[in-house]
Amino acid sequence: MWRLTWAQMRRTGGRLVAVGIAIALGTGFITAAFLGSSTLEATALATARAGVGDPDLVVQTSMTADQVDELATLSGVAAVQPIGFVGREIGTGQGSEYLLLAPPATDDRLAPAALTSGETPDAPGEIAVPGTTAQRLGVQVGDTVQVVSQIWTADSDEPTREVSDAVVVGITADGSGLGFGLPLGLADPTDVAAWQAADGSTWSGATLVLADGADAAAVRDAVAGSVDPGATLQTGEEYARQVASSFTDGVDVFRSLVLAFAGVAMAVAGIVIANTFTVLVAQRTRTLALLRCVGATASQVRASVRLEALVLGVVASIAGVIGGIALGQVVLTILGRANAGVPLPAVVPVSVAAVVVPIVAGVLVTLLAAGGAARLATRVAPLAALRPVDLASGARRRSVRPAIGWTLVGLGVAGMAGALVVSAGGSFDLGLGLGVLGGIVSVVGLVVAAITYVPGLTRVLGRTAAAIAPARSRVPARLAAINAARNPGRTTSTATALLVGVALVVMMSTGAAMARSALDTELSEQFAVDVTVSGTALSQATIDAVRAVDGVASSVVMDGASAEVTTDDGTSTVTAYSASDIAALADVVATLPAWGRGVSMADGWVLAKDGPLTVNGLTTSGKLVEGLPSSTVLLDAETFAYASLTPDSRTVWLALTPGADPRAVANAVTDAVSDTTTGTAGATPVVAGGAVERAGYGQIVDTMLLVVVGLLAVAVIIALIGVANTLSLSVVERRRENALLRALGLTRRQLRATLAVEGVLLAGVGALVGIVLGVGYGWLGSMLLLGPTVGLGVGDLAVPWSTVLVIVAVAVVAGVLASVLPARGATRTSPVAALATE
């Protein structure tokens, strides 16, 4: 039987290769998911190890400097290094940066920060800074920097600023030392101790190195007796693993998510496999029947098909795993070259799971998907060998499946409707759970019942295409429409494979679009001012540059002063602005109400509702304006002066041109500010406002969407392979028909057009149904996820038109491309040659 199977596989090699690629894509995806997460874990562990060093013992508990010193006196302890750092602002003429500082390592095994130049600080007033920080601040070894301490005391709301000078004696390598990858500087132990005392902070533990020949257990007991009873004692390796796992909490979620998408890709591959095998068996009907005639048993025939699937599954899965590992290695090499700061492994850490899971999954999916075809093969009667081949078969409908499918759809829709009701009633988790369950059940139902609606839609779409086609192309269009609807089962599963991927992509895009529009609405309510630029030393040059930015429609400049305000709720410190140009202000702040004398405007933090508001002892009638920046009071210029306020800062408020991209404008404003400012510490103007927030959130949503769509694209690509496969099978089956048409005057171009239209119909139906479903599920998901928090209404459906257009374009182009190879074969065949073959 093996020889026979092998011979048959060779005859249909091309088709099996196409299916093999589908399987390999899916298994490669799974491998990549495993490799990605294990690389993250390896990187985290390497980072943790680099941060921990190689201590013999790690103590975790809150410790004072004295307690750390006490550990050093224990017998058998060679060196002790405290865990933790103090944070200080380091400033130069070029700016300032918040830097974590630790004392230098007392032992080479205790995570020393590697020095790239200079030396370790060993006297008070000496400091070593990380290379990137030095670059940003423009300092070199020998330069002096300011160290700013902000000391909070119990009797004051304001911190005291203490500035001291320090000499840079060394530059540390980025990502080395106890900082766990964060930029870490070193300072003299005496200075660090003083800063720690000033902050009132403690160390979070200590790492120890034992003396040569010391009894580890005895030292451990001694240490345990010396520190807090609740302290954790671990070996260095245990501690590194614990730190690493705290970094990688998110990795498991990431892996599950990617594996879920890989699962979708495998499911789609399964549909493509099932489809191809069914047709392969149909094509071999006569061969199989002849085998049965000469004595092959039904189980031998079934075993042959299964063997074929097994070989295909194993070969393709292994190819996929190798491809996944190669891809992972390429990505890792590129990342390793681009990013020096993170200790990436040089070779991808290939775990057993990364190899075994995808191969098992690939082989199982292939075997399961080919199972139907194997059963079909056993139903071939020996007599079929004697009958002429009837190509018009395959229109059988399994009557039970649609019924089950529609039942599932009904249950799922009921579940989703219930979810909406429950969610509106306030139980978020129950609603979401019910919605997800209903969604999955209904999708499964729709896939199972696809045979009841996909062929009909194909026919409608085909007729429309034929009706709008010009007279000369009408025959190709009509032939394509008829051909696409001729084998409902195959058309359905081909379109369904694409439908699933497209629906998921559109669902995610719809969700993202709705989330973004909900965020925009929410943020524009919270931020009535698009962009604010404020600072104590805001120069006229900066104001002019900011006003000249493309996309800025109007602006207003105001003086600001710190002021005490008293309302019914109490007293607070706010920034009061002198609105000298109320008309300009009204242009910028859309929500600004009419303004009378003796009226002050305040935001919701200052004022809960309209009412009296006393500024520096001057009582005004306060009005609440939604969306002003926090702790803002607006006074007309006269009142501002009357309240004896002295301006100490300037502010520009900007309104964007409607339709301007908030992200681009916010970035341009930030650039304009930094181009016109030679800032000293604390004096750099701050850019904020609704546009900036919107831009930031929008970018997060877009990035997440891009990642998810990228992952789902694999499923779509697999489905498109299915379209090409189905088309080439059609060409083989219709060899004689095509020959007859060519004899009767169908030109090569018309034949190509016929196949192209058929490809577009197959892909188009899948894409269209997928888009409709995706928009629906995306809308429902957003309602359940975001509805309760941001008050998303039923009518807030945001269709991601650009995505929809892209998908339709991809479907059309892919349909045409899928027909290119099959059409080449079909047009090369001479009409005579095809008519001659039986």
**How many CA atoms does the CB half-sphere of 826 hold within 13 Å?**
32
- Our finding on whether 835 is near other proteins (CB under 8 A) is yes
Helix residue spans in 734-800 (DSSP H): 735-743, 748-790
311 three-state secondary structure = helix
Determine contact, residues 81/110, Cβ cutoff 8 Å: yes
Of the pair 745, 795, the CB lying nearest other proteins is at: 745
By beta-carbon proximity to other proteins, the closer residue of 304 and 483 is 483
Residue at token pair 């995808």:
358
Residue closer to other proteins (CB basis): 391 or 436? 391
Q: How far is the CB of 742 from other proteins (least distance, A)?
A: 7
Q: Which stretch binds other proteins (CB under 8 A): 183-191, 287-295, 467-475, 764-772?
A: 467-475
Smallest separation (angstroms) from other proteins to the CB of 752: 12
The CA–CA distances, whole Å, from 389 to 4, 279, 383, 738 equal 21, 14, 11, 17
- Please, what is the minimum distance in Å from the beta carbon of residue 468 to other proteins? 11
Please check whether residue 735 is in contact with residue 283, taking contact to mean a CB–CB distance below 8 angstroms: no
Tell me whether residue 161 or residue 749 sits nearer to other proteins (CB atom): 749
Closest contact distance (angstroms) between CB of 824 and other proteins is 14
Q: Does 663 bind other proteins (CB under 8 A)?
A: no
Nearer to other proteins, 208 or 755 (CB): 755
Q: Which is nearer to other proteins, 353 or 836 (CB)?
A: 836
Q: Which is nearer to other proteins, 294 or 744 (CB)?
A: 744
Rounded Cα distance between 553 and 531, Å, is: 11
Q: Which two tokens stand for residue 653?
A: 């408020």
Q: Which is nearer to other proteins, 227 or 465 (CB)?
A: 465
Shortest spacing between CB 744 and other proteins, in angstroms: 5
Residue that is written with structure tokens 């390796």 in the block: 237
Q: Which is nearer to other proteins, 334 or 743 (CB)?
A: 743
CA end-to-end span of the chain? 27
User: Please, are residues 606 and 584 in contact by the beta-carbon 8 Å criterion?
Assistant: no
**Closest CB to other proteins among 483 and 534?**
483
Of the candidate spans 3-11, 465-473, 538-546, 578-586, the one that interacts with other proteins by CB under 8 A turns out to be 465-473
Please, which of residues 695-714 interact with other proteins by CB under 8 A? none
Question: Smallest gap, in angstroms, from Cβ of residue 379 to other proteins?
Answer: 22
Q: Hey, which residues between 742 and 801 contact other proteins (CB under 8 A)?
A: 742-750
Tell the burial category of 429 from Cβ atoms under 10 Å away from its Cβ (0-12, 13-18, 19+).
exposed
Residue with smaller CB distance to other proteins, 302 or 735: 735
Determine the Cα–Cα distance for residues 575 and 608; give it in Å rounded to an integer: 17
Least Å distance, CB 765 to other proteins, is 19
Is residue 474 part of the contact set for other proteins (CB under 8 A)?
Answer: yes
SS3 state at 178? coil
Please, what is the minimum distance in Å from the beta carbon of residue 495 to other proteins? 19
Angle formed at CA 124 by CA 122 and CA 126, multiple of 5 degrees: 65
Beta strands in 657-707 (DSSP E): 686-688
* Residue 476-495 contact track with other proteins, rule CB under 8 A, x = bound: --x---xx--x---------
Instruction: Tell me the two tokens of residue 88.
Output: 């200080």
* Least gap, CB of 464 to other proteins (angstroms): 15
Tell me the longest C-alpha to C-alpha distance in the chain: 111
Nearest approach, Cβ of residue 276 and other proteins (Å): 23
- Count of CA atoms in the C-beta half-sphere (13 A) of 327: 18
User: For other proteins, which residue of 46, 65, 436, 475 counts as binding (CB under 8 A)?
Assistant: 475
Q: How far is CA 404 from CA 409, 442, 447, in A?
A: 9, 11, 11
* DSSP for residue 608: S
Least Cβ distance, residue 737 to other proteins (angstroms): 6
Which pair of structure tokens corresponds to residue 350?
């290939």
Give the integer Cα–Cα distance in Å for 563 and 578: 12
Binding mask 383-412 for other proteins (x = CB under 8 A): --------xx--------------------
If one asks whether residue 832 binds other proteins (CB under 8 A), the answer comes out as yes
Is 831 among the residues that bind other proteins (CB under 8 A)? yes
Pairing mode, if any, of strands 599-602 and 618-624?
A: parallel
C-beta of 256 vs 393, nearer to other proteins: 393
- Site residues for other proteins, 303-332, by CB under 8 A, read none
Q: What is the per-residue burial (b if ≥16 Cβ within 10 Å, else e) of 713-724?
A: ebbbbbbbbbbb
Which x/- pattern over 726-745 shows residues binding other proteins (rule: CB under 8 A)? ----------xx--xxxxxx
Min dist. Cβ of residue 668 to other proteins (A):
56
Backbone angles phi, psi at 469, to 5 degrees: -75, 145
Interface ranges with other proteins (CB under 8 A) = 391-392, 470-475, 478, 482-483, 486, 736-737, 740-750, 830-832, 835
